[in-house]
Amino acid sequence: MFHVKNNIVAGLALVVLFTASAAFAKSKHEASKETAASAPVSAPVKDGVELADDSAEAIKLRSGPGDPVAGKTKAELCTGCHGEEGISIEGLAPKLAGQYGKYIAKQLRNFQSGTRTHQIMSAIAATISDDDLADIAAYFASRPKMKGNGSDNKLGKELFLHGDMSRMMVACVNCHGVNGKGKSPVNSVFPVIGGQQKDYLRGQLINFRAGDRSNSPGGIMNIITQKLTDAELEGLADYISGL
Ligand code: HEC
Ligand code: HEC
């Protein structure tokens, strides 16, 4: 119990830190924009699309250290399930398009070491060398970012954007960013979840809640999902997959 409480405090401290720095960055940004009297500050995310997301610079930053060109050939092992462009068709296989290269690499290493387990992925990851892993990750990261078809699930939207402070439930947006597209091209700790497969999202949230997946830093996702009801979990999977 004490351990869990400590984690909650650590988690909240993390969030406050990120939110505060984001607010600071925003206010500085807004101030300079106002003097320049240019386009509205919220324009890049207004229509649910971050225009800068797939700019050459953003792609380069999020791809990580691997070589995406070499990675394309090596990724042939993976495209049967994850799609040629990182857009999977089967709902339980996650999309990898536009995901952070370093996050993809971390998951593969977690599958290799057994910190995350899945019958198929653990077996596949075991066969990949370190160099190939970085290149394949860079290839999928360099694809246009995954995107959903829209959903206005009210319950999911409310929790995603505002959390529920009466239950100390932190809003997902604080860590996963606007539209679940991640914090910034250089922050690979928080994965892209907006536009991800609904079945996969539901599965991961259930796994985190049950403790079957426990590879998030400080067990933060285990703590966050612990208080979610089935209906809330479903609402979140529905809303986030639509982003
Ligand atoms: C036979 C189908 C199949 C193949 C082939 C396959 N995967 Fe997967 N992959 C899956 C499934 C299913 C999951 C979901 C695992 C889970 O539920 O935990 C997954 C999960 C992942 C994840 C975790 C993504 C996330 O968002 O956390 C990564 C990364 C990944 N695969 C990379 C690869 C790479 C790289 C290859 C090729 C070397 C590959 N996969 C080949 C089916 C496959
Ligand atoms: C304090 C930060 C934080 C908050 C708040 C947070 N997450 Fe996460 N989440 C993470 C981190 C870090 C990971 C990456 C775990 C890893 O490295 O394996 C993650 C991973 C995930 C994943 C797995 C993604 C994948 O591709 O497998 C899902 C799904 C997810 N979060 C959903 C949510 C939802 C829904 C909420 C809100 C109810 C939420 N998160 C709130 C930090 C956070």
Q: How far apart are CA 26 and CA 30, in angstroms?
A: 6
- For every residue of the chain, which 3-state class applies, written as one string? CHHHHHHHHHHHHHHHHHHHHHHHHHHHHHHHHHHHCCCCCCHHHHCCCCHHHHCHHHHHHHHCCCCHHHHHHHHHHCHHHHCCCCCCCCCCCCCCCCCCHHHHHHHHHHHHHCCCCCHHHHHHHCCCCHHHHHHHHHHHHCCCCCCCCCCCCHHHHHHHHHCEHHHCECCCHHHHCHHHCCCCCCCCCCCCCCCCCHHHHHHHHHHHHHCCCCCCHHHHHHHHHHCCCHHHHHHHHHHHHHC
Q: Which of these, 176, 122, 118, 142, lies nearest to 64 by C-alpha position?
A: 142
29 pLDDT higher than 80 = no
Ligand 2: which of 100, 160, 169, 172 to mutate, judged by most atoms within 8 Å of the beta carbon?
172
Angle at 215 between CA 18 and CA 1, to 5 degrees: 80
More confident residue, 218 or 39: 218
pLDDT in tens, 41-68: 332 333 344 446 899 999 999 999 999 9
| Per-residue CA distances from 186 to 99, 205, 233 (Å) | 12, 25, 29
pLDDT for 132: 96
Both tokens of 159, joined, read 């929790």
Question: Closest residue (by CA) to atom 38 of ligand 1?
Answer: 78
Residue nearest ligand 1's atom 40 by CA:
78
> Does residue 7 carry a pLDDT above 70?
no
Q: Hey, what domains does the chain have and what are their CATH numbers?
A: 2-16+42-49+147-242 (1.10.760.10), 52-141 (1.10.760.10)
Question: Which of 78, 140, 146 should be mutated for ligand 1, with most atoms under 8 A from CB?
Answer: 78
pTM of the model: 0.87
Residue pLDDT, tens place only, 126-166: 999 999 999 999 999 999 999 999 999 999 999 999 999 99
Residue 104 CA to ligand 1 center (angstroms) comes to 9
Task: Tell me how far the alpha carbon of residue 232 lies from the centroid of ligand 1, in angstroms.
Answer: 26
Half-sphere exposure of 156 (CA within 13 A, CB side): 24
pLDDT at 10 exceeding the cut of 90:
no
Nearest ligand 2 atom to alpha carbon 103: 17
**Index of the ligand 2 atom closest to the CA of residue 170:** 5
Residue nearest (by alpha carbon) to ligand 2 atom 27: 204
Q: Report which residue type is found at 14.
A: L
Nearest alpha carbon, ligand 1 atom 16: 118
Structure confidence at residue 190 as a pLDDT band (50, 70, 90): very high
Ligand 1 touching residue 182 (CB < 6 A): no
* Ligand 2 atom nearest to CA at 99: 26
92 lines ligand 1 (CB under 6 A): yes
